[in-house]
């Protein structure tokens, strides 16, 4: 591909990705805005309900029989009195502790007993006063006038609450209608531009279609990666089907992680091609992509070691997984504009739904420090889903997990494949995990292909057995 043509295509890819990100955001935003409005309205309704109960309480008490109303009044005033005594009782305890150090246990104990007795006597006197003020032997008849007044006031308060709910719902509907109308108009223009750019790139992708079999998502062709003469990867070729779980295995130093780094462009291959069918159904050569652009094509990955930010909450770690898709500028970040807040609202909702699906939503406000290692592995997997990937590359996901956690990881990998419609490409040393979860396994040694096939075929392969176990 000529450099000039390559530059034109890359600009078109960048433009298409920006258009797609905006379209995805616009489609997600109305549901998020609806949830935020509901949350705000619920808080307002609850505040109004509390005020309504406070207004009705005196009437409710007055509508009770004299015996019951007197009991309620006694309990309320006694509770208020006991609340006023909390600080004096706490002060007695603090003074007691100081006196223990200065005057000894005996003197301090005498002080505390005397001070608490005084407060107890005041409470007893207050209790006796309230029993005289609100006797226990009053009438058991319901006062009709007070009951009627309470019923009328309750109906009026309920009507006010209904009117408030209706008013808030109407405001919500009006706001959502305005938002949807604006977004529909904007999306129509964006979609037209997106379709135009996509047609241009579709024509460019036709030259690579021959390398793909039916249903393939990734094709590695004669991949080579040399480091100062060391052949880390030497002529490796394989294809991965859309929706399958593909495993790459081999002894230590076989070049497995190097293959990952060549696919994600952390390394630029010495030779060979890495072709990928992106989220727009175009076949693209990943070797022409920058490292930071691979995630926009729909490929996300994890690393051998946990790459979490330990001083940030789990939710913020999740948001980092969507950083490539923010449309807000550095200026928006500095002053925290409404545009940035809207984006964060959408991404937070996406993160919360992913955490809930993986069963770790309860940790969303906690920092990673101190959490179980198995939970942190789940968080790292969850973060890869923030970019809505088509393919996830997992580098030794079971490293450091016990048997129970590895078994749970197996189910999570399948869940991600099935629920999030992702192709999974993993490197793993745990053969039980590989043979249990993978549909296809590729075995390599010293950067060369040993065998590729089903887990059973790989287990029975003499070349694989020799590479792992050696021969006499």
Q: 316: buried, middle or exposed (CB in 10 Å: 19+, 13-18, 0-12)?
A: middle
- pLDDT, position 9: 72
Helix extents (H) in 305-426: 314-320, 330-335, 338-357, 373-384, 403-419
The pair of structure tokens assigned to 400 is 């450091």
- pLDDT, position 168: 94
In the predicted structure, residue 3 carries a pLDDT above the cut 60: no
The pair of structure tokens assigned to 337 is 């504009």
In sequence order, what are the residues at sequence separation of 6 or more whose Cβ sits closer than 8 angstroms to the Cβ of residue 142? 63, 64, 65
Proportion of the chain in helix, strand, coil states, percent, rounded to 5: 65, 15, 20
Average pLDDT over residues 369-374: 87
- pLDDT, position 117: 93
Per the CB < 8 A criterion, the answer to whether 92 and 115 are in contact is: yes
Nearest to 255 by CA among 429, 447, 443: 447
Average pLDDT over residues 266-282: 86
The pair of structure tokens assigned to 399 is 């490293």
- pLDDT, position 164: 93
- pLDDT, position 336: 81
In the predicted structure, residue 320 carries a pLDDT above the cut 80: yes
C-alpha separations of 202 from 84, 197, 281, 299 in Å: 76, 9, 8, 19
C-alpha–C-alpha distance, residues 297 and 318, integer Å: 19
**Mean pLDDT (the chain, rounded):** 87
In the predicted structure, residue 2 carries a pLDDT above the cut 60: no
- pLDDT, position 423: 92
Q: pTM for this one?
A: 0.71
- pLDDT, position 355: 92
State the pLDDT confidence band at 87, using cuts at 50, 70 and 90: very high
- pLDDT, position 95: 93
Percent with pLDDT over 90 in the chain: 30
Q: What is the pLDDT of residues 208-265, one digit of tens each?
A: 777 677 788 988 888 888 988 788 888 888 989 998 999 988 888 778 888 888 988 8
Q: What is the pLDDT of residues 9-60, one digit of tens each?
A: 778 878 888 888 889 888 888 988 998 899 999 999 999 999 999 999 889 8
Nearest to 445 by CA among 282, 259, 262, 170: 259
- pLDDT, position 4: 47
Q: What is the pLDDT of residues 126-166, one digit of tens each?
A: 999 988 888 888 788 888 888 899 999 999 999 999 999 99
C-alpha–C-alpha distance, residues 273 and 5, integer Å: 18
**DSSP letters spanning 165-204:** HHHHHHHHHHHHHHHHHHHHHHHHHHHHHHHHHHHHHHHH
- pLDDT, position 471: 55
Q: 462: buried, middle or exposed (CB in 10 Å: 19+, 13-18, 0-12)?
A: exposed
Average pLDDT over residues 328-347: 83
In the predicted structure, residue 1 carries a pLDDT above the cut 90: no
Least confident stretch, 66-70, 148-152, 313-317: 66-70
Per the CB < 8 A criterion, the answer to whether 265 and 294 are in contact is: yes
The dihedrals phi and psi of 136, each to the nearest 5 degrees, come to -85, -5
In the predicted structure, residue 91 carries a pLDDT above the cut 90: yes
Q: What is the pLDDT of residues 169-200, one digit of tens each?
A: 999 999 999 999 999 999 999 999 988 888 87
Cα 238 → chain centroid: 34
Average pLDDT over residues 390-398: 88
Per the CB < 8 A criterion, the answer to whether 437 and 252 are in contact is: no
Which three-class secondary structure state does DSSP give residue 275? strand
Q: Which residue has the higher pLDDT, 375 or 464?
A: 375
Q: Which residue has the higher pLDDT, 428 or 1?
A: 428
The pair of structure tokens assigned to 229 is 């003469």
In the predicted structure, residue 301 carries a pLDDT above the cut 70: yes
């Amino acid at each position: 591909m000529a450099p000039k043509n390559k530059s034109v295509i890359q600009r078109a890819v960048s433009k298409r990705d920006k258009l797609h990100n905006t379209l995805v955001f616009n489609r997600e935003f109305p549901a998020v805005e609806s949830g935020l409005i509901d949350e705000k309205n619920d808080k307002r309704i609850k505040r109004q309900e509390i005020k309504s109960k406070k207004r009705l309480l005196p009437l409710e008490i007055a509508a009770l029989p004299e015996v019951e109303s007197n009991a309620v009044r006694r309990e309320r005033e006694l509770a208020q009195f006991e609340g006023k005594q909390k600080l004096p009782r706490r002060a007695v305890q603090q003074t007691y502790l100081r006196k223990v150090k200065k005057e000894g246990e005996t003197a301090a104990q005498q002080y505390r007993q005397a001070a608490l007795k005084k407060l107890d006597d005041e409470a007893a006197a207050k209790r006796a006063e309230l029993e005289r003020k609100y006797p226990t032997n009053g009438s058991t008849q319901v006062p009709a006038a007070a009951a009627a007044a309470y019923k009328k006031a309750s109906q009026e308060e309920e009507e006010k609450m209904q009117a408030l709910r209706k008013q808030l719902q109407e405001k919500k509907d009006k706001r959502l209608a305005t938002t949807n109308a604006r977004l529909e108009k904007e999306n129509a223009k964006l979609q037209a531009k997106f379709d135009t750019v996509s047609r241009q790139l579709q024509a460019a992708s036709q030259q690579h279609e021959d390398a793909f079999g039916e249903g393939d998502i990734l094709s590695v062709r004669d991949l080579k990666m040399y480091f100062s003469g060391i052949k880390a990867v030497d002529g490796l070729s394989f294809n991965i089907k859309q929706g399958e779980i593909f495993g790459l295995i081999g002894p230590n130093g076989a070049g497995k992680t190097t293959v990952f780094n060549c696919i994600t462009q952390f390394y630029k291959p010495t030779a060979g091609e890495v072709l990928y069918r992106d989220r727009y159904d175009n076949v693209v050569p990943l070797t022409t992509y920058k490292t930071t652009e691979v995630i926009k094509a729909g490929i996300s990955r994890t690393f051998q070691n946990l790459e979490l930010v330990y001083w940030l909450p789990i939710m913020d770690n999740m948001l980092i997984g969507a950083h490539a898709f923010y449309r807000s500028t550095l200026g928006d970040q500095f002053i925290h504009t409404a545009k940035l807040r809207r984006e964060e609202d959408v991404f937070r909702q996406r993160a919360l739904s992913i955490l809930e699906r993986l069963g770790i939503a309860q940790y969303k406000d906690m920092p990673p420090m101190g959490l179980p290692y198995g939970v942190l592995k789940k968080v790292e997997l969850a973060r890869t889903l923030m970019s809505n990937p088509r393919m996830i590359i997992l580098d030794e996901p079971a490293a450091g997990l016990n048997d129970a956690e590895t078994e749970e990881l197996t189910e999570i990998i399948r869940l991600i494949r099935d629920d999030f419609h992702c192709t999974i490409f993993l490197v793993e040393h745990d053969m039980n995990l590989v043979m249990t979860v993978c549909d296809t396994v590729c075995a390599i040694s010293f950067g060369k292909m040993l065998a590729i096939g089903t887990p059973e075929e790989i287990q029975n392969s003499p070349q694989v057995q020799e590479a792992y176990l050696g021969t006499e």
